[in-house]
């Protein structure tokens, strides 16, 4: 046998011997600790009952309007939750109608329409408009 094999076998033997010694000590420890008598103040006492299992309160889920507007929009503005709730009779209808409204917006703004109409009706030449806005 070479020297490296001899040193490895000695290491293995040492390891196995140490493991056996620790194992024997581990088996003996529970017997030693259980052999100790109880102190007098605990003699004749009954063990305490475990604490009753406590249930944690579960927070109620937020309304669907708040969830949708927080996740799919930039959060609810004043009046958005009421507008969302007015979109249908149940949550599925409201969500479906809200998504349809987001995908097909109607941007009817009378004030903007009036201002655009006034600009289009005016008799201003294109050259004057370009010179005013450049």
Measured CA angle at 96 (ends 90, 100), to 5 deg: 145
Check the CA dihedral 21-25-26-28 and report its sign.
positive
pLDDT of residue 28: 58
Total Cβ atoms within 10 A of residue 6: 10
pLDDT of residue 94: 95
pLDDT of residue 27: 63
d(CA 81, CA 63): 9
pLDDT along the chain (134 residues), means of 10: 53 77 64 67 80 81 93 93 94 94 82 80 72 76
d(CA 123, CA 129): 10
Q: Compute the half-sphere exposure of residue 72: CA atoms within 13 Å on the CB side of its CA.
A: 16
Q: Is 65 exposed, middle or buried (0-12, 13-18, 19+ CB in 10 A)?
A: buried
pLDDT of residue 70: 94
Q: Where are the domains of the chain?
A: 8-35, 64-103
pLDDT of residue 107: 72
pLDDT of residue 3: 54
């Amino acid at each position: 046998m070479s020297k490296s094999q001899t040193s490895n076998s000695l290491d293995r033997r040492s390891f196995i011997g140490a493991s056996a010694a620790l194992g024997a000590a581990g088996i003996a420890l529970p017997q030693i600790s259980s052999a100790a008598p109880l102190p007098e103040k605990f003699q004749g006492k009954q063990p305490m009952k475990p604490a009753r299992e406590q249930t944690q309160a579960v927070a109620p889920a937020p309304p669907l309007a708040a969830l949708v507007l927080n996740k799919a929009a930039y959060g609810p503005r004043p009046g958005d939750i009421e507008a969302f709730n007015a979109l249908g009779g149940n949550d599925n209808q409201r969500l479906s109608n809200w998504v349809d409204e987001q995908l097909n917006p109607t941007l009817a703004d009378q004030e903007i329409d009036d201002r655009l109409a006034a600009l289009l009706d005016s008799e201003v030449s294109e050259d004057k408009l370009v010179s005013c806005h450049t």
